[in-house]
Structure 1
């Protein structure tokens, strides 16, 4: 089995051999293409942006439901690729915040982060938007204090903030919570009285036991738990938050987020136990959800769920942080467990297109389409621009830089020259909220445009037409119905619900004809005096677009990835290691034709 895992994870999936294969299966690309809502929290400061974070995804009655922070509803999907917003009929919240979900007794329960008694909702038909109260006032957890009150000895901070709900095989329900750079994560048994619903909602929730202190951070031992960009800020204590529990093979996997959502290294870690309330043991392969490089950066505070065909997935929170610290997006990644119980999340090429599988994935089977990035640093032109926001910023793979048109008016264009004929299979239009001036929701917050393609820059035809779209699409992902040979891609503007037309990146995916690049030569890999840090150096590969530094506990378990582009140095200081853990590292190169074989591996001794 491990040999198969090695083979599939180190050899890129073969590209589609016929045009019809481009649309044979649903595909998606991160950030997840949902209609992110404009926030309302910074209205007094005059700061406007779309955001989504802390995703809780649940598979209920054959349908996926996505709940997230700062939304006035939720989304549903039958295939993880196409999402429809659901406006609830009963919504006692000003918005969801770090929501928790639970499927129990044929019901879908929904709880939001809170510091005071609030409703616990349930639905048997969330597709319709109908919800009922399981309890109008969720009882406070024993020994917690009220917001703003001093935490006396024997008391816990007010909560449950960042809750997670879990039902064990014996029917018992557990609540996990915590979000702090001072306090740990907590857990407690929670009786929902599923077999006594007739007693009325006021008697449905009790806590049979006492809160249990579960886990806390150890950044002095775990490099990835340190705060700041690439874990470089030692002045701020890191945060532990976002509890989520799964059970697999009789083992409990308590997941948590660290060190903070404000940077590229927001990640998910895991502790394991043979009991739902511990004691828990740190997994040496942490972090499990980690994406510090590429266009979509950050993968912390999400959810792990099992969907169609028994496949596992993980969602996480990605960092934008342009308009406000907590401007974010949602990422979706394949996940699973090895035969001996190691949990993994695969973020390799995590913001390139992936297939949604129509079968049970075999160990190590990849969902990556093999469609490569064709637009990186390619020449771009625009019909207009404002100072310091030219069209070159729309092909730099950075959501924090963007082209801004001189006017938000129909007919504005952004054109990317791919440099020669390429087989194009998908396009992603990522908008930026430059002085957007919008809050909440409104009927005119819709995204309308057309995509055109051309071989010669003179004769154009339509690739996609969203001129009558009725939804907002901050990160519009558009797979073509059939693969096409093109050199030029043009965005033609119609409408966005913002004061300005701003596009962070116009990303184009497909392939150039020819063999993939040669494997890089790994020159050195050595741990520094601080054993949480290693320096990795490799030789440049001519023509490469970028590289994936990959590492893990063994050659057949290189589950961690740090993506770098070829115009960045080929020496990387890896700052996320755990002290006392032996690692294996390797590098692969990629270009517009495909992905190289892995370099030789090197060992980082404890």
Structure 2
């Protein structure tokens, strides 16, 4: 077989950029475009989801849906793409869909979703290049949304799978020699939306027209306990999340963890944190990779995010998504940190809803959509040609540490994976809007960077930033977010006052899966973060809210008491947190 290796190394050409210590979600990889015409009736667009990251020989290997290949990285920042089709014929119209990947006895294995029993398991000992062999020609059990777990303590292999709003997730043991199930299949977990509010279908968890889906199985073993992770209620919603059941047996006796969903991000710019996988970095710290929704041109328009995760002293599994789409420390620079407290750098968003100017505007794709902190909305210039530009006013001279550029897909021409495409641009800074200095020069960039993130080696001080387009890989020059991070030099908000939690009493009839928060609007605040949990010392959940003084939380478990806390933030920093409120 002819080996085709395509390695795309994300690099920068600007003098002020050195080794980065941070990354920012959505992660910046060269996402392929949806391969399906029927999903492109409202416009062709990039799309992937259902990610798996495994650590193999101290390198991170990332597989996700319909990419005609996969990525690997040494540091979780620079991702190298390896082109590889795992299809043997045209039986399937897509490549790996919701793939499984696992390490067993010094080899990396990959398997794609199928309802049939005709998809092989592939094996590689050299996956940084396209060097794969078929480990078993046909996995007879067949599995959609599969996940394998190799228990090296027992030298046993298990398979979990399922994607349904009727059936539970299933599990079976796989013979490590034949790589086949020996026929004993058991139900593992199912949804209980009548008790778990976050499992209800719909953007507002209201079960509006379908029952919720359970999917995205993943297993992690920690302290001789098995953590069965699953996604719900559906990929196209901001409340898409991962929950977890725990057992001392890999196939039986799973119990719902008290802290659930453990991976949840319904607010902020990049929303959704479901159908993911948990992995360890090279320093034995845990991370969780999962699906971010956009769902503008199609329900399956999605991206990927990575969040710090772990297990606390009581073996409670958590994933910290607070400020989870702001600059976050990379593994090498986070190895001594407490992951339960998060890895956010403290660099604030400097241009939320600030004034903007542009070179041109296409129809209703208004300029202010670039700074509204909503990945679903975007501005588009009339063309994609050199010279189109976007300018943002920070409102004051500010310290700038990093910039994230989120391109949107407007009038793009591609279906499926593209190679050799690239973005080029320059970013200028000014304090008066007249005299400009080059801050970032990507005029020689030769890589595809749809969510480019640049951390400056030396922070700069500017009020205005201007991005000039030099080259687009396809389509118009369009942005869903030009996000500037650092610190302003004015006041940060005061502590939030009059934080009220409204919920039906357990002794009265009412909808206890939903909780209404109200608080006094802080005139200096851009937004707020609500922390939640079922113990005052385990407020692992979080919800980011912009520009409002209320939030309707629909993700509560009916029977349990909760604890809540809130803080305000703006471009200058975060307030002190409020007192903790208990809701029975």
TM over 0.5: yes
Contact preservation (8 Å) 1:413, 1:492:
yes
Return the offset for 1:177: 0.1
| 1:165 corresponds to | 148
- Is residue 2:573 matched to residue 1:573? no
1:149 maps to none
CA deviations 1:2-37 (Å, max 9, x no partner) are xxxxxxxxxxxxxxxxxx999675210000110100
Distance 1:75 1:598 in 2: 39
Give the aligned partner of residue 393 of structure 2.
417
Report the CA distance shift for 1:90/1:316 in structure 2 as closer, same or farther (over 3 A). closer
Equivalent position of 2:105 in the other structure: 105
* C-alpha displacement of 1:504: 1.0
Report the CA distance between 1:176 and its aligned residue: 0.0
Q: Would the aligned equivalents of 1:405 and 1:502 in 2 still touch at CA under 8 Å?
A: yes
Change (3 A) 1:171 1:323: same
Match of 1:34 in 2: 29
Q: Deviation at 1:129?
A: 2.3
Residues 55 and 281 in structure 2, CA contact (< 8 A), matched pair in contact too: yes
Range moving further from structure 2, 122-131 or 216-225: 122-131
What is the CA distance between 1:387 and its match in structure 2? 1.8
1:296 aligned residue: 270
Superposed displacement of residue 224, structure 1: 0.2
- Give a deviation string over 1:523-573, Cα, whole Å, max 9, x none: 3213132111111111122211100011101222111111111x22x1212
Give SS of 1:310's match. coil
The answer to whether residue 359 in structure 2 is matched with residue 383 in structure 1 is yes
Return the alpha-carbon distance in structure 2 between the equivalents of residues 64 and 50 of structure 1.
23
| Corresponding residue to 1:556 among 537, 540, 551 | 537
Deviations 1:404-460 (A, max 9, x none): 111110011101111110001111111111232211234463222122222222222
Deviates more, 1:449-458 or 1:242-251: 449-458
Q: TM-score, normalised by structure 1?
A: 0.89
Residues 360 and 91 of structure 1: is their aligned pair in 2 closer, same or farther, counting only changes over 3 Å?
A: farther
Who is 2:8 aligned against? none
Corresponding position: 1:483 with 2:459: yes
Looking at structure 1, the residues matched to 95 and 462 of structure 2 have their Cα atoms a distance apart, in angstroms, of 44
Distance 1:266-1:44 versus aligned 2 partners, 3 A rule? closer
The 8 Å contact of residues 88 and 130 in structure 1, kept in 2 or not, is answered as no
RMSD in angstroms over aligned alpha carbons?
1.8
SS of the counterpart of 2:369? helix
Pairing partner for 1:598 from 554, 577, 580: 577
Name the SS for the 2:383 alignment partner: coil
41-50 or 583-592, larger mean C-alpha shift: 41-50
1:465 aligns with 2:448: no
Is 2:402 aligned against 1:426?
yes
355-364 or 430-439: bigger deviation: 355-364
What SS does structure 2 have at the residue aligned with 1:224? Answer: helix
User: Residue deviations 1:35-74, cap 9 Å, x none?
Assistant: 1001111268544110121010011111111100010111
When structure 1 is superposed on structure 2, of 47-56 and 353-362 the one drifting more is 353-362
Answering whether residue 518 of structure 2 is matched by residue 537 of structure 1, we say yes
Q: Deviations over 1:497-522 (max 9, x none)?
A: 22222111111111012553221024
Residues 299-318 of structure 1: pairs in structure 2 closer than 5 A: 299-318=273-292
Match of 2:375 in 1: 399
Q: Take 1:530 and 1:369, find their aligned partners in 2: how far apart are those partners?
A: 38
What's the CA shift for 1:294?
Answer: 0.5
Matches of 1:315 and 1:377 in 2, distance apart?
29
Within 1, Cα distance between the matches of 2:32 and 2:342? Answer: 32
Counterpart of 1:276? 250
Contact residue 374 and residue 509 of structure 1 kept, 8 A: yes
Cα contact 1:379–1:417 (8 A) shared by 2:
yes
Task: Spell out the pairing of 1:579-590 with structure 2 (5 A cutoff).
Answer: 579-590=558-569
| Contact 2:16–2:456 (Cα < 8 Å) also in 1 | no
In 1, Cα distance between equivalents of 2:85 and 2:539: 46
Q: Which blocks of at least 5 consecutive residues in structure 2 are unaligned?
A: 1-14, 505-509
- Provide Cα deviations, 1:75-128, integer angstroms capped at 9, x if missing partner: 111111221111238764742110111111100001111122111111111112
Secondary structure of the corresponding residue to residue 69 of structure 1? coil
Matched, 1:66 2:42: no
Alpha-carbon distance between aligned partners in 1 of 2:16 and 2:391, rounded to the nearest angstrom: 27
Displacement of 1:234 in angstroms is 3.2
C-alpha contact (below 8 Å) 2:201/2:234 kept by paired residues: yes
Distance 1:129 1:381, change over 3 A: same
Structure 1 distance, partners of 2:356, 2:149, is 49
Are 2:53 and 2:60, in contact at CA under 8 Å, matched by a contact in 1? yes
> How far apart, in 1, do the equivalents of 2:199 and 2:405 lie?
33
Residue 595 of structure 1: how far off its partner (Å) = 1.2
Matched with 1:450 is 426
Residue 4 (structure 2) aligns with: none
Counterpart CA distance in 1 for 2:18 and 2:443 is: 22
Question: Helix, strand or coil for the counterpart of 2:245?
Answer: strand
Structure 1 CA distance, aligned partners of 2:176 and 2:36?
Answer: 32
Corresponding position of 1:228: 202
Deviation at 1:467, TM superposition (A): 2.0
